Structure 1
Amino acid sequence: MVKSIFSPIRNLFKRTSNSTESDSLKWQFAVENSKIGVWDWDAKTNKVFYSAESKNILGYEDNEIGSNADEWNNRVHPEDRDAYHYDFQKHLSGEIEIYKNEHRVLCKDGTYRWILDQGKIVSKDKIGKPLRIIGTHIDITKRKEDEMLLNENFNVITSQNKRLYNFTHIVSHNLRTHIGNFKNVLEFHDSAKTQEEKDEMFNYLKTISSALTTTISNLSDVISVNSEYNDLTNNVNISNVIVDSLDNLSIDIASKEAIINTDIPSNLFLTGNSAYLESIFHNLISNAIKYVDASVTPKVNIKSTEKNEGFEISITDNGIGIDLNKYKDQVFGMYNTFHESNREDSEGIGLYLTKIQVEDLGGQITIESELNIGTTFKLFFPKEKAFLLNKKKESFKKL
């Protein structure tokens, strides 16, 4: 297609012995009415002929742009110049047969328009050095705008699909815990022998109900169409999220008499989505309580450490551990379970979902584990995401 453009253009500037003035006028008329700009570079003088159409694309009259190569070069957008010069040099050196580059050019009115710039060497000297290149300028601004709109729509759809995916699995994990808590408390209530025990179970029901309301509220943010990029712009108190996660797991903690130690600054915040953060801690803490030998009292230590580049939050347990020699590459995979756990309720979703959510929040997750010793998950968030609230950061959202 490129060659078909250059063939008629060549006739405008260099007639063959069989060409006629009428043929040349036909080609000139066709090019002018197609709104395709033409340029003709003379290597000896470093002068460039720019057709009136090339100048009109930028909003200039024919007499307002000269024949210096910099008339065009200096108007190329700074972000596009390197690729523009690189592609042109590749053609001059013979690496590519046709020069082709898309770049933005500054117009007379101060705006930029996208130009498809193409060219080809049409004559060389005796040693093969280019003497002349003829090319075209085509305004592709509309196409570029359509592409950007398409990409924006694609990103919106991708974001919504990710929200739906996360929403589905958060519901599966988090709400199932609330339902299990309701069931356990009601069973305890039915078996209670004194009014005091029944009142205690009723208070537990109030706590679970409140936690369920909070979870549903957070989940609505995840799924909301108006929630820009999964609500990843809120500043969320990490300590509060951990407290809420522990409240949601209070029945499991109490039934197993688990010991939970936390060492998280009360002013440590993360810019992100509270529902994602709650889901992350819920999954990691519940796993730490769940996967422990029946004869062992579960112990979970949660602490944060400030690094040069950001903050690391570790969740360490004394559980059954994972054989990383066998499963290191599978730990965060979907539907992967580990035989050592021997749990029928292991679905292989939790750690996969957790990794996705940590990365969506701009962080990283790693694991250290030994069989029959325990496991440590480390969450790292850079300082542009995690920070200690001070006077400079007065705007934040509490859970």
Structure 2
Amino acid sequence: MKLSNFNLTNYKSKFYEKNKLSNESFEDQKHQIALEISKVGIWDWDVKTNKVTYSKESKEIIGYSSDDLKNTSSAWNDKIHPDDKEAYFSGFKSHIKGEIDFYENEYRIQCKNGSYKWILHKGKVIESDNTGKPSRIIGTHTDITNLKNTEDKLNQNLQLITNQNKRLYSFTHIVSHNLKTHIGNFRNLLEFYDEAKSEKERDDLIDHLKTISNSLTTTIVDLDDIISIKSKAQTSQIKERVYLHNCCNKIIDSLKSECEKHSVTIHNALRKDEVILSNTSYLDSIFYNLISNGIKYSDPKKNSQIIIQSIHTKDIIKILISDNGIGIDLNKFKGQIFEMYQTFHGTDRKDSRGVGLYITKTQVEALQGRIEIESDLGKGTAFSITFNKHK
């Protein structure tokens, strides 16, 4: 049997001819598939009819289905965050005017559920009318929320590392300076001891050596306290429920004899129901240092008082500890208030080591708070400690 002359390589069925895609259609489909995979939305604005067509992907980015979002520019623009609208419209107008070839902007937009997402918005004029005015503009929407969140975290971490490096540098400088001072004193006294010509001279030098040894011990204890505070700041030890009024009363009771000695009256105006997530021992130390400072530097010529109160907003609680004592000259000392081994009151007090406020600031920051000071020489001092509220 003889087969007909039939070339399969040249055969194209009617079904194939009917259903095959043209090269142009195939390219369009490839682009559409690519957009769907990448979840990039498309918008198409017909300027003459003021109709904007949003792709399924654009609508899905902000939580809308195909029929939920109207085909108008306001349907999208009205959802842009108020703080971002000025830059959004300014850049778009610049492109319309021909001042920039390509429009690109990042902004926040409100989703259907009320939350906000970050959008990378791009656009370009692709058609113009006879007068040169844009008649059609096409662009894309890309959800960059995760990228922005990552960027914010990186910036926060960078800021944290920068601040930690500054504090570490400062702390290292303090350690180096103070230890070198003590070592230098030891060296000098030992040289004097070797050169001493009498037993009395040697005894006097031994007494000096003991004094320096005690001072060195105190310095090491101070530095150890600060290191301990900084290390605890990285742990979960700052998540205790603390009633501020009770915490403050405990410190006031412990300072009762000092108050009587200096004739100081303390008013605890904190609410009894005020609770914060914190660390009890740190708050005890903070209250103790600031209240005892108010007693220590009270003005004997006045009816001395210390007032502890608080201010609330939706997000923060601010604790105010104010006195009418001798005050500090902030014009002279403001940049040194919370530095280590600094005293400012011009009084010759052996119990003023200049570490209390440094440690207090370190503890407040370990509790993720902020401490500030206001003071007038001869009028008094007010410390404010601000903490974020925790739900």
TM-score range, shorter chain: 0.5 to 0.7
- Do residues 282 (structure 1) and 283 (structure 2) align? no
For 2:251 and 2:117, locate their aligned partners in 1 and report how far apart those are by CA, in whole Å: 51
Question: With structure 1 as the length reference, what TM-score do the two structures score?
Answer: 0.51
Question: With structure 2 as the length reference, what TM-score do the two structures score?
Answer: 0.52
Q: In structure 1, what is the equivalent of residue 255 of structure 2?
A: 246
Question: Which residue identity does 1:94 align to in structure 2?
Answer: S
Partner of residue 259 from structure 1, selected from 246, 253, 262: 262
Q: Which 5+ residue runs of structure 1 have no aligned equivalent?
A: 1-20, 169-218, 386-399
Deviations 1:78-123 (A, max 9, x none): xx4324543332123318842313334536x998765432223345
- Do residues 303 (structure 1) and 306 (structure 2) align? yes
Q: In structure 2, what is the equivalent of residue 92 of structure 1?
A: 92
For 1:120 and 1:232, locate their aligned partners in 2 and report how far apart those are by CA, in whole Å: 56
Q: In structure 2, what is the equivalent of residue 366 of structure 1?
A: 374
Change (3 A) 1:123 1:235: farther
For 1:128 and 1:333, locate their aligned partners in 2 and report how far apart those are by CA, in whole Å: 66
8 A contact 1:284–1:315 mirrored in 2: no
- Do residues 106 (structure 1) and 107 (structure 2) align? no
Change (3 A) 1:312 1:124: same
Change (3 A) 1:105 1:353: same
Question: Which residue identity does 2:93 align to in structure 1?
Answer: S
8 A contact 2:328–2:375 mirrored in 1: no
Q: In structure 2, what is the equivalent of residue 39 of structure 1?
A: 43
Q: 1:47 offset after TM fit, Å?
A: 0.7
Aligned 1:12-31 pairs, distance under 5 A: 22=23, 25-26=26-27, 29-31=30-32
How many residues align structurally?
Answer: 291
Aligned 1:1-399 pairs, distance under 5 A: 22=23, 25-26=26-27, 29-34=30-35, 35=38, 36-55=40-59, 57=61, 67-73=71-77, 76=79, 80-83=80-83, 85-94=85-94, 97=100, 98-104=103-109, 106=111, 114-123=118-127, 129-144=133-148, 146=150, 150=153, 154=157, 223=233, 225-227=235-237, 230-231=238-239, 234-237=242-245, 239-246=248-255, 253=258, 258-265=261-268, 268-269=271-272, 271-272=275-276, 273=278, 274-287=280-293, 301-304=304-307, 313-317=321-325, 322-333=328-339, 336-338=342-344, 340-341=346-347, 348-354=354-360, 364-370=372-378, 376-380=380-384
Change (3 A) 1:121 1:258: farther
Change (3 A) 1:151 1:260: farther
SS of the equivalent of 2:94 reads coil
Question: Which residue identity does 1:29 align to in structure 2?
Answer: K
Deviations 1:142-177 (A, max 9, x none): 4356557x479959x88xx8xx99xx9xxxxxxxxx
Q: 1:135 offset after TM fit, Å?
A: 0.8
Q: Considering only CA atoms, is the larger Rg found in Structure 1 or Structure 2?
A: 2
Q: How well do the aligned residues superpose, as a CA RMSD in angstroms?
A: 5.5
8 A contact 1:106–1:113 mirrored in 2: yes
Q: 1:246 offset after TM fit, Å?
A: 1.5
Higher relative contact order (CA 8 A, sep 6+): 1
For 1:263 and 1:110, locate their aligned partners in 2 and report how far apart those are by CA, in whole Å: 48
Q: Percent identity?
A: 34
Change (3 A) 1:40 1:284: same
